[in-house]
Amino acid sequence: MQINPEQLDSRLQGPLAPVYFISGDEPLRVMETADAVRVQARKQGYDEREVLAVQPGFDWRTLESAAGSLSLFSQRRVIDLRLPTGKPGDAGSKALRAYAEQPPEETVLLITAGKLDQSARRSKWVQALDRAGVVVFVWPLDSQQFPAWVRTRMRQRGLEPTTEAVSLLAERVEGNLLACVQEIDKLYLSQGEGPVDADAITAMVADSARFDVFTLVDAALGGDGVRCSRILHGLQGEGVAAPMVLWALSRELRQLTMMSDAVAGGEAIPRVLARFRVWQGRKQATGQALGRLSSAACKDLLRRCAEVERVIKGRASGNPWDELLQLALLLAGLTVFPAMRFQQPA
């Protein structure tokens, strides 16, 4: 039986199935889905657990041996099989099919695996597991689902975030669920339960650098070239990787390009900002950028991002930090020159 992660809790309320197969490329969701099975198994008296990690050279007869052995300490047990690649090979495929055709009593086989491609999901061993028990394919959250997931996780921690706070946190962790959970935990430890606004996110959710890349983006959007220079110098001095700075600028430019296309099509800037869910603290700066940069200019800056990436990777001549400074200043609406170099802030 194939279900999604949200359906699992209700399926775990009754007697457990002989097999649970959980597959996906989002580590946190796979881990938490498997944890839900382990917790329910303990509640139902499955007190013994044997972990089998499939690595190069793994002998699949180990699974057969585990299935056939009797527990010395518990009548019920869990065989926890870790299959990181999602590829058991011929021997593994045969072993899993054999197990699924005749699973031992009082035993739950819990398999966690990496993402399977479409052909693997149709393979005989996956179909056998599906017939024997429960199959859960864990898919990454898309951009529409992620904010709702963030809000739910914050509320589980006793936090009551504003819409802007949710949007800002979702933006800062860029879909990284594990990083998001860590930041939520830090917020909880810092302020305890209660309301959370965008200012709290800005204050608490910071990169390790003293000047973070998001502050650079805000300065560039707001047209503050002097501050761009100082922040970039600070990022360089703190040892922040140049690709991270480029990622932040190019990510903002992709969003800005889509918004500028909408403005060029006749849509009012306030409506565009609302439709693209620009949080309140950034609306003014983003609106200023949309007022001074045409759609064509945004596309030119995106192409420049590709050129800067070539410099960073050593495929073109130039100094990466000089190029990043010029890119930020162009986003800020300032004229730059090829010979520009960093100057120590006064």
pLDDT one-digit tens code per residue, 295-319: 899 999 999 999 999 999 999 999 9
> To 10 degrees, what angle do helices 163-173 and 280-292 make?
70
Cα(336)–Cα(118) distance, rounded to whole angstroms? 49
Maximum CA pair distance of the chain? 77
CB atoms near residue 87 (< 10 Å):
15
Q: What is the mean pLDDT of residues 228-239?
A: 86
Give the domain ranges of the chain.
Answer: 2-138, 146-204, 213-331
Type of residue found at 139: W
Whether the pLDDT of residue 6 is over 90: the answer is no
Would you identify the CATH topology of the domain 2-138?
Answer: Rossmann fold (3.40.50)
Fold for the domain defined by 213-331: Zinc Finger, Delta Prime; domain 3 (1.20.272)
Cβ distance 67 to 79 under 8 Å? Answer: yes
Statement: the pTM of the whole predicted model exceeds 0.75? no
CATH of 146-204, one of 3.30.70.1250, 3.40.50.720, 1.10.8.60, 1.10.10.10: 1.10.8.60
- CA separation for the pair 235, 245 (Å, rounded): 8
Percent of the chain with pLDDT over 90: 48
pLDDT tens for 120-151 read 888 999 999 999 999 999 988 887 888 999 99
What was the pLDDT predicted at 57?
A: 87
Give 208's pLDDT tier (boundaries 50, 70, 90). very low
